[in-house]
Amino acid sequence: MKTTRFILIISVLLTSVAGVPVYAALIYGSDVVDDNLVSIDSSTMNGQVIGLFGPSGPVFAMTGLAFDPIDTTLYGISPSTDAIYTINPLTGFATLLATVSTGGNPNGLAFDSNHSLLYLTDNNSNGLYSYNVVSSEFQLVGAITGGFSNVEGLGYDPQTDTLFGLADDQDQIIRIDTSSAEATALPNALGSGTWRGLDFDYISGMLFATRVNDGAPLTVIDPLTGIGIDLGKIIDHGRFDFVQGLAVVPEPSTLVLLACACGLVYLRHQCEKR
């Protein structure tokens, strides 16, 4: 496992130097200026507009995105309405799923495929929340500890059952305990910036993040060390300077493997309870 991750990190470093793509991940992003769903090719950094989240009446500033790789459902969270949405990945149109009460400024969103949960963070309350997409149960997990605040993005690793957060005020990737909201920092801080989106890529085992300064680059981050490498600016004539939510989409051929991995994690938890 350590050898595999070392090779991944070396590959990322080679990418930054030689421009050789590590892995062509398809990533959905939410443009909070134009209220559009966009797609991003991480190997070319090309971005394309898919469509508006809604009509011109209500403003849908989707600050967080999350993808369920089992049901292939794309979710979004909007502080404009304090609500969770399902999003059509072909058109971008958002459909109300549930209104929540997080503190008025929800931003981070991640999907836990092991437990059918959405995790949410709110910048006003600095709380971690969960929403069960099967039972519709919504609850406060707790206030995020460790002195970390403004957790703008979330990403979930189903293999290790780990929730990652992007604490913008501290320029830091953190691990968040999903039962207590206790947070601990990765060994290395990110560079100074206005950090926004975060998601975990199951295939490469790396995190992707965005920030809305310095040309709004896409950054790949090692989830063990916290070290990040900028992949470059999202290209589409400068229209994607404010991509906030991120959702990495696995290739269809890997979804079966992911389902098996999630099943193994679930069985492990069941055995530990006995």
Confidence of residue 259 (pLDDT cuts 50, 70, 90): very low
The helix/strand/coil state of 268 is helix
Long-range contacts of 7-12 (CB under 8 A, 24+ apart): 8/204, 8/205, 8/206, 8/222, 9/222, 9/225, 9/227, 12/206, 12/220, 12/222, 12/229
Tens-digit pLDDT profile for residues 149-164: 999 999 999 999 999 9
Residue 114 has pLDDT above 90, yes or no: yes
Tens-digit pLDDT profile for residues 178-226: 999 999 999 999 988 899 999 999 888 999 999 887 777 889 999 999 9
Query: Domains in the chain, start-ordered, CATH in brackets?
Result: 2-273 (2.120.10.30)
Contact status, residue 149 vs residue 167, Cβ threshold 8 Å: yes
